[in-house]
Structure 1
Amino acid sequence: MDQQDPVEQASDGSDDLYDIATWEERTSVDGLAVALYRLLVASTRVVVILAALLILVGIGGLSALTDPQVGALTLLSALPALALAGYVYYSDVTQNEPLSMLVVTFLLGVLTATFAAILNSLLSNVGQTIAGEFQLALGFLGSVVFYFLVVGPVEETVKLLAVRLYAYSHDSFNAVIDGAVYGAMAGLGFATIENALYITRNLSSSGLDVGSGGVGIIAAGGTITAVRALAGPGHVIYSAIAGYYLGLAKFNKENAGPIVIKGLILAALVHATYNSTVGLGSTVIAGITGLGGLAAFLVYVIIYDGVFGLYLIGKLRRYSQAYHSAHASGPSAASFSSEQTEFED
């Protein structure tokens, strides 16, 4: 509920309180203020998008996406993430989101990923410099700290930014669950450009000329494509969780800030935990089962993404149940018990 000034609270509605305790657009100056505000908001969005595009070009992301061979490998690597994003889309029991909005959010996910690339690199260098000054050996513990304090929060924030830049304020974003749908699309965009850059760098480090084309590029990129295909769905899961809470915040404006932060905390924790444990977990699985490195990695990813994928599915299903209950002639949605605290038994 919007807070009211004491004058407005005490008024019986017969007095004109414009420019005293209330405000609405009336005069030409009011109109100018509204127009300038809208221009400022739109300009800020344009500046952010242009900055992201320039960074994308600068780090080689655009050339990676437009190279036919790398593009083909990237498309293959993105298929599992695309399938998961599609599941989230079809889980929306309200109105289907417009294709144009999904595409825009996907592209913004590609663009805003560049901010994460810059920030991760910059903060990594800062951390290494500080460690060098104090002669600290970072090792595995340093990597874990970096994942939890930098990579997880930064990457989940920029993916949520992709939703906030456009879809959030659109009329089609008219239900809490829409946040999960658009969050998933932003995660898909992030995973796509990340895969393209990883594949390009892997091929270049192998001594192959990416721009030369040929079947050899496709063959050589098979392993890294498989690895990135397994990593991609995680981005969709994390950002769909954060996106769900962004949707919850949109319809609970009095607590919007804490709700958004809660979503980011959950997504960043799940993300950082994956980054911190995937190497060790794959090694343990390989040691126990005798599987090769890629196969052990596959098993670990399936287990990890399966656990938190089920958590996401549970949230989507609870929303679906509440929606159907609220629109049925039977008991009201108010009869549903509240959801357990995250990760409680």
Structure 2
Amino acid sequence: FQDKYEKEPKGLLLLGFALGAILSIIIVTLLYLFTDKLIPLTDEYSIWQQFVQAFFVVALAEEFSKYIIVKYFAQPRKAFNEPYDGIIYAVMVSMGFACTENIMYVLQGGYTTAFLRAFTAVPAHATFGILMGYYMGKAKFSNNRFALNMAGLFLAVLFHGAYDFFLFIGFIPGISIGAFVSLIIAVILSRKAIKRHQNSSYFKT
């Protein structure tokens, strides 16, 4: 609905969602198998170990799996013809990932867990996708593509890692509020990112 001026093909959007739901999960699973051995969590009450888990194990693996799909599936497409499209495709991939992840949580923790995540983790994934997509959208139409793509990945990992980190160290009373503070900041930045790309659309009349 936010893509006001030049809609993306529905088939590509659905394919992006499907790749996020299946391929990104496969990539994350493979990365987890590697990082679990390379960076094991030996002390769940270690703030440093939880920091590493949040940023370098979970956030980096998950956002990298989405990044790969946006970069190699979406960015080269002719339909990706304005910077705002980076946000659209990154969010679709992120929502596919969040869908499969939530199904897994339903199977493990029941519908109460899924309901809670529907108002926390799922919007968070969308927000991280917007931040990543903003820069990946700029990247396609820039001579500095690598740096802008990396900026998108970095920002998504930064906010994803911060969100998870404050939840992972929940053994410190009250610290979990930091997750929601970081999410609110990410939402504010995301709204600005959407507005900027909307206002600079190549198809705005």
Letter of the structure 2 residue corresponding to residue 256 of structure 1: R
User: Would you say 1:249 and 2:139 are equivalent positions?
Assistant: yes
Q: Please say if residues 237 and 308 of structure 1, whose CA atoms lie closer than 8 Å, have aligned partners that are also in contact.
A: yes
Letter of the structure 1 residue corresponding to residue 75 of structure 2: Y
Shift in Å, 1:147: 1.7
Q: 1:117 aligns with which of 29, 40, 61?
A: 29
Change (3 A) 1:99 1:276: same
Q: Please say if residues 176 and 248 of structure 1, whose CA atoms lie closer than 8 Å, have aligned partners that are also in contact.
A: yes
User: Would you say 1:259 and 2:171 are equivalent positions?
Assistant: no
Structure 1 unmatched runs, 5+: 1-89, 203-220, 286-296, 329-345
RMSD over aligned CA atoms reads 2.7
Which residue in the other structure is 2:17 paired with?
A: 106
User: Would you say 1:321 and 2:199 are equivalent positions?
Assistant: yes
Change (3 A) 1:99 1:300: farther
Letter of the structure 1 residue corresponding to residue 186 of structure 2: F
Q: Name the CA distance, whole Å, in 2 between partners of 1:303 and 1:138.
A: 22
Q: Name the CA distance, whole Å, in 2 between partners of 1:118 and 1:145.
A: 18
Q: Name the CA distance, whole Å, in 1 between partners of 2:137 and 2:48.
A: 35
Which residue in the other structure is 1:239 paired with?
A: 129
Shift in Å, 1:303: 4.5
Change (3 A) 1:280 1:127: closer
Q: Name the CA distance, whole Å, in 1 between partners of 2:111 and 2:179.
A: 18
Q: Name the CA distance, whole Å, in 1 between partners of 2:188 and 2:81.
A: 25
Structure 2 unmatched runs, 5+: none
Which residue in the other structure is 1:307 paired with?
A: 185
Identity of aligned residues (%): 27
Larger Rg, first or second structure (1 or 2): 1
Instruction: State the SS of the aligned residue for 2:174.
Output: helix
Letter of the structure 2 residue corresponding to residue 226 of structure 1: F
Q: How do 1:1-345 residues align onto structure 2 when only pairs under 5 Å count?
A: 90-111=1-22, 112-128=24-40, 139-202=46-109, 221-229=110-118, 230-252=120-142, 254-278=143-167, 283-284=173-174, 303-323=181-201
Q: Name the CA distance, whole Å, in 1 between partners of 2:135 and 2:107.
A: 34
Letter of the structure 2 residue corresponding to residue 274 of structure 1: Y
CA deviations over 1:85-140 (Å, ceiling 9, x no partner): xxxxx222330111111100000001222211221242022222xx87xxx88723
CA deviations over 1:254-285 (Å, ceiling 9, x no partner): 21111111111111000000000135579418
Q: Please say if residues 124 and 183 of structure 2, whose CA atoms lie closer than 8 Å, have aligned partners that are also in contact.
A: yes
Q: Report the TM-score when normalising by structure 2.
A: 0.86
Aligned length: 202
Q: Name the CA distance, whole Å, in 1 between partners of 2:123 and 2:204.
A: 32
Letter of the structure 2 residue corresponding to residue 115 of structure 1: I
Instruction: Select the structure with the greater relative contact order (CA < 8 A; seq sep ≥ 6).
Output: 2
Q: Name the CA distance, whole Å, in 1 between partners of 2:111 and 2:204.
A: 49
Which residue in the other structure is 1:214 paired with?
A: none
Q: Name the CA distance, whole Å, in 1 between partners of 2:29 and 2:116.
A: 19
Shift in Å, 1:322: 3.1
Letter of the structure 2 residue corresponding to residue 198 of structure 1: Y
Letter of the structure 2 residue corresponding to residue 94 of structure 1: Y
CA deviations over 1:283-332 (Å, ceiling 9, x no partner): 418xxxxxxxxxxx7x87665433211111101112223349x956xxxx
Q: Report the TM-score when normalising by structure 1.
A: 0.53
Instruction: State the SS of the aligned residue for 2:39.
Output: helix
Q: Please say if residues 70 and 89 of structure 2, whose CA atoms lie closer than 8 Å, have aligned partners that are also in contact.
A: yes
Change (3 A) 1:198 1:263: same
